[in-house]
């Protein structure tokens, strides 16, 4: 989108008052410059109001960092909330936002930011923690269901499914006052808190998301101490409430008010034989909660296990030998696993190559090791499923968000280069640089810090 388009968009919106802007911001009036141009290029980024019709400070707070730093907040609002999709030019949004829009970002937010920053800055390595939780970690779940009686009744199927998945968790419902009695009668909820957002008899917001008292809502939600917050509404009006819970994990359908950690696109269920029932959408949302119930296994092993080989060059990390040698030099006991035919990395590793049948591989490894290092292979997934802490070294052949192990103690180290993911077994550069440039010193730094923690 170019400057002229942004200028005209703001001018035509009715949300910019030229006279009010000049009277309010005397420095702009004294500079004798076009006030709209000033707001578009500077004022909006400084938090200056375009008029009394748009609370820019409130909008920035609600969006919680989801406005790209190159985009004027009012322009973001006009693009994502006001303008019909069929006349929008979304090319720039596709490049800047779409990559994170439907992606589960939870795993990245759950690992220590400092370590992640050091790895990226010093070694060019990205960390991804597996975006799943053990059921025992989830104590409190806040469910927003602020719409009407029929909507609530339709949502009960999804809520009952959630209770079945996590029977030990407390479900805290936030609903309209007219739902309170019905909700308490179900005996599904530990608490029922009311918040009057919609009009009781009309499907329209009673409160504007950009004028609502944020601090008051936070006071209502804070005692609930949410581990997960779910907005059980397909339409987007209430999505802005999710980040106000301060829950580590938020779940909902796509919305430009807020991008949940687990975010489903509105067309995630294809229409079959006509329209899809709303209950199906809500059930799908619950099914996306990344919960595992694998046994919590007590660590007995003392070794670091390594599996160096893969069936494809595009997945084989060329620095596993250097990592093994560095670990041994630092005093770690290293076991090497793999099928017959794999090359021994060092005569100082404990050689377990070809010793273990596949059907007992994961069990044996989890008994002998306290940490396992693998690659984008089936055995990495098998070991991770035992609950053992697992590190996968991934290249750019696949997107690690889509193919990493599903275990609370699993991590992926990867190089997020421009051409990844390519899904091409033959690197177009010929050198599989996504793996070649992922240095063993960075992997060692991560492993050593993991043990410290």
Using one digit for the tens of pLDDT, what is the confidence trace for 399-451?
888 899 988 889 999 988 888 888 888 888 888 888 888 889 999 999 988 87
In this structure, is the dihedral angle defined by the CA atoms of residues 368, 371, 374 and 376, taken in order, positive or negative? positive
DSSP string, 29-76: HHHT--HHHHIIIIIHHHT--SSTT--HHHHHHHHTT-S-TTS-HHHH
In this chain, the answer to whether the domains covering 106-132+295-452 and 134-289 adopt an identical fold is yes
Q: What's the CATH architecture for 134-289?
A: 3-Layer(aba) Sandwich (3.40)
**How does DSSP classify residue 374?**
E
For residue range 242-273, list pLDDT tens digits in order.
888 988 888 998 876 677 888 887 764 544 44
Look at residue 310 in the predicted model and tell me its pLDDT: 85
pTM over 0.75: no
Provide the 3-class DSSP secondary structure of residue 354. Answer: coil
Could you state, in order of their start, the residue ranges of all structural domains in the chain?
A: 3-101, 106-132+295-452, 134-289
Residues 53-106: tens digit of each pLDDT: 888 887 887 776 778 777 888 888 887 764 333 222 333 333 333 333 333 344
Structural contact between residues 93 and 369, judged by C-beta atoms closer than 8 angstroms: no
Residue 209 confidence (pLDDT) = 55
Considering only residues 188 and 257, tell me which one the structure prediction assigns the higher pLDDT.
188
Element (H, E) at 428: none
Cα-Cα end-to-end distance for the chain: 46
Please tell me the CATH code under which domain 106-132+295-452 is placed. Answer: 3.40.50.2000
Integer Cα distance of 409 and 389 in angstroms = 5
């Amino acid at each position: 989108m170019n400057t002229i388009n942004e200028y005209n968009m703001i001018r035509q919106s009715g949300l910019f008052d030229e006279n009010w802007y000049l009277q309010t911001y005397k420095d702009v009036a004294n500079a004798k410059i076009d006030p709209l141009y000033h707001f578009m290029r500077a004022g909006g980024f400084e938090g200056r109001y375009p008029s009394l019709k748009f609370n820019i400070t409130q909008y920035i707070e609600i969006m919680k960092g989801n406005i790209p730093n190159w985009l004027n907040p009012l322009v973001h609002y006009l693009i994502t909330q006001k303008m019909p999709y069929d006349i929008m030019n979304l090319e720039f949004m596709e490049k800047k936002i779409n990559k994170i829009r439907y992606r589960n970002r939870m795993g990245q937010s759950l690992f220590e930011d400092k370590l992640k920053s050091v790895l990226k800055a010093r070694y060019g390595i990205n960390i991804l923690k597996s975006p799943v939780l053990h059921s025992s970690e989830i104590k409190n779940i806040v469910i927003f269901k602020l719409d009407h009686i029929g909507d609530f009744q339709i949502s009960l199927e999804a809520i009952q499914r959630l209770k079945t998945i996590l029977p030990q968790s407390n479900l805290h419902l936030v609903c309209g006052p007219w739902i309170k009695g019905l909700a308490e009668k179900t005996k599904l909820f530990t608490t029922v808190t009311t918040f009057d957002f919609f009009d009781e008899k009309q499907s329209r917001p009673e409160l504007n998301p950009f004028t609502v008292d944020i601090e008051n809502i936070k006071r209502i939600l804070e005692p609930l101490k949410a581990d997960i917050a779910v907005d059980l509404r397909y339409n987007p009006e209430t999505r802005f409430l999710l980040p106000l819970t301060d829950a580590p994990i938020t779940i909902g359908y796509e919305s430009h008010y807020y991008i949940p950690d687990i975010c489903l696109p509105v067309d995630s269920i294809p229409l079959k034989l006509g329209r899809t029932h709303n209950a199906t959408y809500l059930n799908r949302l619950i099914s996306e909660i990344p919960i595992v119930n694998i046994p919590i296994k007590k660590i007995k092993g003392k070794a670091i296990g390594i599996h160096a080989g893969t069936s494809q060059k595009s997945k084989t990390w060329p620095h596993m030998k250097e990592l093994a040698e560095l670990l041994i030099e630092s005093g770690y006991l290293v076991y090497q696993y793999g099928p017959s035919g794999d090359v021994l990395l060092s005569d100082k590793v404990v050689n377990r190559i070809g010793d273990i049948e596949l059907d007992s591989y994961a069990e044996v490894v989890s008994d002998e090791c306290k940490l396992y290092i693998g690659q984008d292979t089936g055995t990495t997934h098998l070991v991770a499923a035992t609950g053992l802490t697992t590190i996968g070294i991934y290249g750019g052949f696949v997107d690690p968000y889509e193919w990493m192990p599903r275990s609370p103690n699993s991590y992926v180290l990867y190089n997020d280069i421009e051409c990844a993911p390519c899904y091409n077994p033959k690197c177009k550069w010929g050198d599989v640089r996504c793996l070649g440039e992922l240095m063993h010193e960075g992997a060692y730094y991560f492993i050593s810090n993991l043990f410290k923690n």
